């Protein structure tokens, strides 16, 4: 799989951060933030881009993987603004980097043009991962800053959840119901801290639904 990106280095707070920013391309992805959950919809190309970003995050111990998603305002089924819920960007980062999300607004403002680079993620990165212990399925922790959802976790957590996201690429088209905008069965649900009973972070919801939207077309 390939992900077209620009690579940036930004100094802030005495630190230098490497940001890998996905370049918008064919396909559609939108991430809505509601009161109790976050809902992401992807078409096939969007699912490929998101899965590749997950794979890149698993491989990138020192980088923030940034998906700018706020330009997309309409969900599938011609539901503008998903009942007027705000749209947000997405950043994937390994927790070992210790990035303070409060710095994100300033870091994002300093990105500049960046250096174009095509990242290649082998399909084998999404297979063979052992399921974590019960109640620690995801081990991703949610955070929010500057209209952005942060997902932070270990490389193993990104490999495991990335395999789930990649299943939308592999199985979504075959399982999608003919004539419907999306199928509720073609989805991945992730929880803050990997615990179905855990509350979300203080500043936002702790459930992320990623749904494959079959037949998503412009309104």
Regarding pTM above 0.75, the answer is yes
**CA neighbours within 13 Å on the CB side: how many for 19?**
29
- Mean of all residue pLDDT scores within the chain: 85
pLDDT confidence of residue 170: 84
* Residue 144 pLDDT class (50, 70, 90 cuts): very high
Residue among 28, 18, 37, 35 nearest 91 (CA) = 18
CA 52-58-60 angle, 5° bins: 95
User: Whole domain around residue 149: which residue ranges?
Assistant: 2-212
Q: Give me the number of domains the chain comprises.
A: 1
**Which of 11-15, 83-87, 95-99 bottoms out in mean pLDDT, i.e. has the lowest?**
83-87
Residue 79 forms part of a structural domain: yes
**DSSP states of 81-124:** HHHHPPB-EEEEEEGGG---GGGHHHHHHT--S-EEEEEE--GG
């Amino acid at each position: 799989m390939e992900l077209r990106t620009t690579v940036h280095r930004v100094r802030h707070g005495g630190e230098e951060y490497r940001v890998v920013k996905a370049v918008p391309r064919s396909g559609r992805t939108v991430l809505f933030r509601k009161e109790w959950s976050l809902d992401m919809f992807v078409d096939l190309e969007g699912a490929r881009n998101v899965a590749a970003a997950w794979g890149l995050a698993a491989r990138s111990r020192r980088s923030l993987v940034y998906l700018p998603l706020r330009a997309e305002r309409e969900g599938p089924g011609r539901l503008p603004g998903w009942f007027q819920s705000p749209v947000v960007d997405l950043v994937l980062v390994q927790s070992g980097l210790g990035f303070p999300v409060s710095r994100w607004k300033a870091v994002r403002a300093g990105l500049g043009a960046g250096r174009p680079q095509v990242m290649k993620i082998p399909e084998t990165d999404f297979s063979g991962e052992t399921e974590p212990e019960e109640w620690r399925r995801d081990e991703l922790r949610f955070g929010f800053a500057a209209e952005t959802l942060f997902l932070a976790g270990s490389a193993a957590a990104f490999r495991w959840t990335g395999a789930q996201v990649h299943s939308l690429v592999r199985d979504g088209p075959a399982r999608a119901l003919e004539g419907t905008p999306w199928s509720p069965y073609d989805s991945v649900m992730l929880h803050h801290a990997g615990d179905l009973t855990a509350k979300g972070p203080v500043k936002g919801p702790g459930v992320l639904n990623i749904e494959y939207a079959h037949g998503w077309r412009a309104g």
